[in-house]
Copies of this chain bind each other. A is one copy, B any other.
Amino acid sequence: MRENLNLFFILSFISVAIAFAFAFYLYSWVKKARVGNSRIEEVSILIKDGANTFMRREYKILFTFAFIVAAIIFFFLPHPFWIGNIKNNLMMAVSYLCGTFFSAVAGKIGVMVATMSNGRVAESAKEGIRPAFLLGFRGGSVMGLLVVGCSLLGITLILIVTGDSSIVLSFSFGASSLALFAKAGGGIFTKTADVAADLTGKVELGIAEDDPRNPAVIADNVGDNVGDVAGMGADLFDSNVAAMASALVIASSLADTGLNNISMVLCYSVLGLLSSVLGIMSARIGKNGNPTKALNSSTYTTTLIFLVLTAIATYILPGFSWRIWGSSAVGLLVGVIIGITTDYFTDDSCPIVQKVASASSRGSAFTILSGVSYGFISALPAMAGIAISALVAYKLSEPIGEGYAIFGIAMAAVGMLSIVGMIISNDAYGPIVDNARGLAEMGGLGEETIKVADELDSAGNTVKAVTKGFSIGAAGLTVISLLGAFLSEVNAVLESAGLDIITGFDIMDPVVFFGVLVGASVPAVFSSLLILGVDRNAERMVDEIHRQFETVKGLKEGQVSPDYERCIDIATIGALRELVPAGLFAIFMTLVVGFIGGAEAIGGFLLGNIVSGLLLALFMSNSGGLWDNSKKYIESGKEGGKGSNAHKAAVIGDTVGDPFKDTAGPSINTQITVVSLVSSLSASLFVFFSIF
């Protein structure tokens, strides 16, 4: 590296220290709050233990998997060990393990704090919206700060030790592996429990959602934490690291133009972290304030702070470029816009949700048809937004010099993800207040408190749709830059072998085209395998619930507690079992296409994968959100209200939407990143050992 990065390494350590310190402060602040109700405490501990059980098992399998992958990396990457420098192979393997480990630690602590917060939020909801909101939000913020802090720390350490950006790719691959387990596994877990609890509880027995007699009810609450807190956190950890990694790889492949490219990447990440800290501090709500507004306004504050801070940095620091600043600003703004359009398609005050609700009054087939249609339509603005931001970033950065155009896109992704700390905080808030609502019901805290919890929960749902749109958009831009990183890797391999470099991937080349078609079908199959997994697993849990109701005496009457553990066990084991084929399928297809068609086919494969992956992820997340909110809209008394035919139809829509929006849709992001990283890491294998 030509640049002197010491200043930025130090800044990076300082900002990570600030983030960790602030996270610890928030943790202590939340911990100080009181849980008075013994029933809440009891259930809260059950949830915590369930989440720990799942994560322990998940991490056990994950680390076995990770050690195998690390061994493979050690032997074969970046070059088979008998060809290259074995020190590089070792660094790659260690860096991979660090990626899984850092993400795992962030996830573990985040879930710990979230499961500690839920009871406290329920308790403080007795005193109104204000204290409960702050507790929920600050509990979630711990996760946000840890994710960004850990990712920045890991990348900085690797850069200092190895001085080689392409090793960062391996760290990123580690993070992706974890995200695959956390997001897809957690997603299967949470929807298994949710679907089984709904089917047996609401549909068969006609009892309330959080009724403690239902053996699946604790598993359902555990699912919120492991799916939404740990899963979403790992997903965004992954995207964030991937964005930085690809920007770093591209930055170090650029010819010298006097700009300090790597410094820019580090500096923007540091400022993003600090902006999130300030944004989290700024979160306030009035006595009877609107929690949705409060969450959104902190997001906008963070965005603004980031733009101002990076502008100042660009102005005062040497070798920083306004064009790059513009690119990252475009990325960030488009992220916010995608969030807003997602909201349009899924918020119940907007016409789309109301149309689906009204279609439901004509039967569930129309619920499905209209939800699918609007879900597909909702993909257009987001995809056009990603396309336009990539185009603008490219054109802005192109004049700087050769290769800068694609660096501009990478920086747009970094820009979009700069506020990720804030995004995760908002997102983790959701399951905390969702759990709190359940606890308030189980603890019998009274209607007034449940109403407060409901309001907090509804804000969580709305904001969740927005952050989901945001995270898909971020993944979109990130993988474009990963495509750039892949090309850089391929050319590095070709150059070192004295071969001609390739300048791009031509659609008219049938090897590329072959890759595109196969790549496009992978997310479709991947998400289908996950949905079928949820389906099978829910079936197992329904059988268990039936068994308990039939064999345990006094359970229906509420005299005996059900065996919650068994349901948690089923969800855990099933989730991990169903996840593996889907993950292996995606990796296997990458290797098949790579060994058939070489680097060109993989270029096409990644493109096809990104395009159909984005389309399906947006479709599934948004239709799912749409169905969920249509059901809630009807439950609020519209179209005949609860118990009407429209409501029955909407419940079916919601059940279909559950694995769409919480398992398959958001896991596609991770699948895309995993496939991109496998490709970049295996670049040299594909260049030398392919059929065509």
Q: Which residues on A are within 8 Å of B, measured CB to CB?
A: 199, 203, 359, 362-366, 368-370, 372-374, 376-377, 379-380, 383-384, 386-388, 390-391, 393-395, 405-406, 409, 480, 483-484, 487, 503-518, 520-522, 524-525, 527-529, 531-532, 534-535, 539, 542, 597, 603-604, 607-608, 611-612, 614-615, 619, 652, 655-656, 659, 692
Contacts and interface: CB of A to CB of B under 8 A. Distances in A.
A607 B380 contact: no
B383 A517 contact: yes
A524 B520 CA distance: 14
Contacts of A366: 535
A515 B539 CA distance: 43
Contact of A518 (B373, B384, B393, B692): B384
Contact of A615 (B391, B524, B652): B524
Max chain B Cβ within 10 angstroms of own Cβ: one of A366, A383, A390, A483: A383
A643 B199 CA distance: 21
10 contacts: A366-B535, A369-B535, A370-B535, A376-B527, A380-B525, A383-B518, A505-B506, A507-B603, A516-B607, A524-B615
Nearest to A515: B387
Nearest to A653: B365
A663 to B, nearest CB: 11
Question: This chain: how many copies in the complex?
Answer: 2
A692 B395 contact: yes
Contact of A372 (B362, B373, B531): B531
The A interface, classified by DSSP as helix, strand, loop or mixed, is: helix
Nearest to A532: B373
A627 to B, nearest CB: 10
Given A395-B510, A612-B612, A387 B517 contact: yes
A383 B521 contact: yes
Contacts of A484: 508
Contact of A504 (B509, B534, B652): B509
Given A507-B505, A507-B604, A520-B383, A528 B376 contact: yes
Contacts of A517: 383-384, 386-387, 611, 614
Given A387-B514, A391-B692, A608-B611, 15 more contacts: A199-B363, A362-B539, A372-B528, A372-B656, A387-B513, A387-B515, A483-B507, A483-B508, A503-B506, A506-B506, A507-B603, A507-B607, A520-B615, A524-B619, A652-B652
Contact of A524 (B376, B390, B539, B603): B376
B513 A656 contact: no
Contacts of A520: 383, 611-612, 614-615
A384 B517 CA distance: 7
Contacts of A506: 503-507
Max chain B Cβ within 10 angstroms of own Cβ: one of A480, A517, A525: A517
- Which 3 pairs, one residue from A and one from B, show the smallest C-beta to C-beta distance? A504-B506, A373-B528, A365-B655
